[in-house]
Amino acid sequence: MKRIFTAIVVVFSFVYSQNLFGQCGTNTQSGTVCNRAPNGNSPSGIPYLYGTLLPNAGCGVFNATPNNFGPGQYFQMPVLAGGCYSVSTCGSSIDTQLSCFQGTATTSPFAYNDDNGPICGGLQASVDITPSFTDYTRVQVREYNCQVGGSASVTVNVRQNNNLNITSAATAMCEGQTRTLAATPASISGTLIAGSGDRGTFIGAGVSGTTFTAPTPSGASQTFTITYTFGYCTTTQNILVHRAPTTAAAGPNQNHYCPIKPFTDRKKSFSA
């Protein structure tokens, strides 16, 4: 049965989770596609901006900012290309829908969910997304059947999940050898959106940019850890480094002579 509402109030709460979700191989696509431009445009024709939500509470941890959400408004979340993100309305008291757009787009969402999202159950929506762009993701929260009205409380949370992997070799090395470092998602070389986190950085002993030069181990061998940070998530790789062999100092060349003279058979004469 349909109901008529005049406002959606979004109450943002902190939800902490230790689980890292791996659904980000493909964007969530389920239910009705809400691809109409938001209502309630300003006189300039630009939809009212609710604000920006940052996935910065920690890797795999939901975060949001308290405020009110009115009809036709939306929020935006800064994302990095290849990163893994989740948006959730779990815990909301009404049937919710989510639509995600790139940047300022208002039609053809690249991800959406209508009820029973991969994180939520029942009538609440959630999406797991892997953007192919470094920009804002515009997220609209509507009630069932793509409605923009509503008066009940809606909880919205965002987070970055850990899908990082250092793809360069982890085989053992000798001190002084070098190796080019690589990881997925790849480091972002262009301009970042404020609040999206780290562009993709390697750190650790022997690391300079994307090059690892094996340091001198403290003993015969030593394990060194490389850390890769992308957005608000990190991953590590261990590399065993062996001390390089050294040449023994044997001294200068030497000549050796045998001190024993060769035996000579000599005849002796005797007189009677």
Coil vs helix vs strand at 10: strand
Instruction: Tell me which residue has tokens 């791996």.
Output: 22
> Alpha-carbon distance 272 to 259, whole Å?
38
> Alpha-carbon distance 88 to 136, whole Å?
17
Q: What pTM does this model have?
A: 0.79
Q: What is the dihedral of CA 108, 113, 114, 120, to 10 degrees?
A: -160
* Cβ atoms of residues 230 and 55 within 8 Å: no
Q: What is the pLDDT of residue 251?
A: 66
pLDDT band at 75 (very low <50, low <70, confident <90, very high): confident
Tell me the domains of the chain and their CATH numbers: 1-162 (2.60.120.380), 165-242 (2.60.40)
How many other β-carbons are positioned within 10 Å of the β-carbon of residue 37? Answer: 13
The pLDDT tens digits of the residues spanning 30-58 come to: 888 887 655 545 444 555 567 788 999 99
* Cα atoms found within 13 Å of the Cα of residue 178, Cβ hemisphere only: 6
Pairing of strands 96-102, 135-143: antiparallel
| Closest C-alpha to 206, from 237, 232, 233, 184 | 237
| Closest C-alpha to 116, from 108, 127, 125 | 125
The pLDDT tens digits of the residues spanning 191-218 come to: 899 999 999 999 999 999 999 999 999 9
